[in-house]
Amino acid sequence: MAQLYTQGKCHGIHPFIVQIRSLEDHKPLPGVTLGDIGPKMALNVIDNGFLYVDHVRIPHNHLLMKHCQLQKDGTYIANENNKVFYGSMMYVRAVIILDTYHKLASAVTIAIRYSAVRRQTVLYPNKDEEQILNFQTQQYKLFTVLSKAFAFFFTGSSAIAAYKKVFSDNNEDKEQQFKSLHALLAGLKAISTWNTAEGIKICREACGGHGFSMSSGLPQLESLTCASCTYEGDNTVMLLQTGRYLLKCAQELSNGTKLQGTVAYLEEDFSMGHTQVGGNLHLPALLRLYQHSSQVNLMQVFQQFSKKLASGNSFEEVWNMMSVNIMKSAMAHCLIYTVKTFITGVNDIEQPELKLVLMDLCKLYCVHGIIENLSNFLLPGLLTEIQVSELNDAMFNLLTKIRPNAVTLVDAFAITDRKLNSTLGRYDGQVYSALYDYAMGSPLNKTKVHVSYHRHLQDFLKERQLKANLVSTCTTYSLLLFIRTLFSPTLSHSPVRIL
């Protein structure tokens, strides 16, 4: 992938086929310098490399021209739907969103299973120590992460389905839907990987010192997920791409253009308020609350952006001044999609008992998202203090309701012990025997006395013991001489014989 310049104009990034090594001896071709970039924080099994080319010529037909044409005189002709070229990149981002579900599900499975086994602190007289999963602090940490895992399952599945629909052969409005989907997937990639990285960190810390052990499987998950915050698009850049699209939508809305798809809510009238939002946790009302918050936030950012432009600042200057608020608007917009797909996914479940359990998780996800981003709802005056208090109480009630099903919910992910590869997340609950076996497998435990003792410490300690014995003998002699001198002054100059 490289920038294409012809006739003094840049046409953007395009794919090229470039031979970089000789077919005879595999050495880099003239003008080509390449190598490995060195160790990374994670993913070191992947051989990421660098490539530097200096005056390297390739044939004209080595530019892949499915979505453009380059004539031999340098004339560049773009197809009408040339932006569809980014389709594969968008698909990868959709897959990443679903992959965050797998990683977060693995982490929360480990943490919840371990928390059901681990006991600590007597809460009631004449009772055994309590499972730490019964503590509200542990439930708040892990059940909110559990709700996010299910949310990203529905979001990722919906994102892949949306991608397939946009790029289907019979889609007549492909280009317009492409823009909306591109912006959505960029933002969803950012919020899903950030939330997953934070969620895995919470799971690791919830397992105490054992969670820090490589045997728990959590450190590996954490480092891998941290990488996903950067590859296939840095998350900050992704959210800014989403924000740019949203600002264009706000501009179109101000010009009277009707909005469709994932941004249609921006033109809705939410003046009726959100009186249903409170302890009853009406899901449609919670969704409208998210939409109203995003709408107010985006329009405020758009108005500030327009005002700064009108005052004489350049677009680039205003963009830099407003970039943090633009990111926040993008995150609020993407959260709506996760809430909406979660609600839709739960409503589509046919089994009543299962539907009720997942409904509680869906409510927890919605309420926790409001509590986490409270300023987005309080500053515009969308919620009252009484409603916030009711939502907070309802959230803690949901933790109690979810507790009896917590282990069953993570078992439903059907992640095998082999795939989890964790001493703490074993299906049979034999955590401590697994920890012991793992520890005994350390090379340092192959012998009862480490070889370094014989090589370095043994002679040193013997020498020290000899010196210590000599010092002890001298001390005894001096003490005896002092005593005899004390009680027999006349013998102070007489030779002393030690008996």
Helix (H, G, I), strand (E, B) or coil at 112: helix
Output the six-digit token pair for 223. Answer: 């480092």
How far is it, in rounded angstroms, from Cα 318 to Cα 325? 11
- The pLDDT of residue 463 is 80
Q: Could you tell me the two tokens for 315?
A: 């677009």
CB neighbours of 201 closer than 8 A, spacing ≥ 6?
222
Helix (H, G, I), strand (E, B) or coil at 382: coil
pLDDT at position 438 is 93
Which CATH class, in words, describes the domain spanning 85-429?
A: mainly alpha
The conformational region for residue 40 under phi > 0 = left, psi -120 to 50 = alpha, else beta, is: beta
* 2-82: CATH, from 2.30.110.10, 2.40.110.10, 3.40.50.1100, 3.40.50.620: 2.40.110.10
pLDDT at 274: 66
Please tell me the predicted confidence (pLDDT) of residue 177: 84
Q: What is the pLDDT of residues 216-227, one digit of tens each?
A: 999 999 999 999
pLDDT of residue 492: 47
Q: Looking at the chain, how many residues does it have?
A: 499
Q: Which residues pair with 52 in a beta bridge?
A: 33
pLDDT in single tens digits along all 499 residues of the chain: 899 999 999 988 888 999 999 999 999 999 999 999 999 888 888 889 999 999 999 888 899 888 788 888 889 988 766 566 678 889 999 999 999 999 999 999 999 999 999 999 888 888 889 999 999 999 999 999 999 999 999 999 999 999 998 887 666 667 778 889 999 999 999 999 999 999 999 999 999 999 999 999 999 999 999 999 999 899 999 999 999 999 999 999 999 889 988 999 999 988 776 666 766 788 999 999 999 999 999 999 999 999 999 999 999 999 999 999 999 999 999 999 999 999 999 999 999 999 999 999 999 999 999 999 999 999 888 998 999 999 999 999 999 999 999 999 999 999 999 999 999 999 999 999 999 999 999 888 888 888 888 888 888 888 878 777 777 777 666 766 666 666 665 544 555 444 3
The question of whether 390 is a catalytic residue gets the answer no
Return the amino acid letter for 52. Y
Q: Give 377-427 pLDDT, tens digit per residue.
A: 998 889 989 999 999 999 999 999 999 999 999 999 999 999 999 999 999
Q: State the catalytic residue, choosing from 130, 198, 232, 252.
A: 232
Domain range list for the chain: 2-82, 85-429
Q: Return d(Cα 262, Cα 61) in angstroms, integer.
A: 40
3-class DSSP assignment, residue 33: strand
Whether 150 contacts 361, CB under 8 Å: yes
Sequential DSSP letters for 428-479? T--HHHHHHHHHHTSGGGSSSS-HHIIIIIHHHHHHHHHHHHHHHHHHHHHH
Residue 5, strand partner residues: 10
HSE-CB of 297 using CA atoms within 13 angstroms: 30
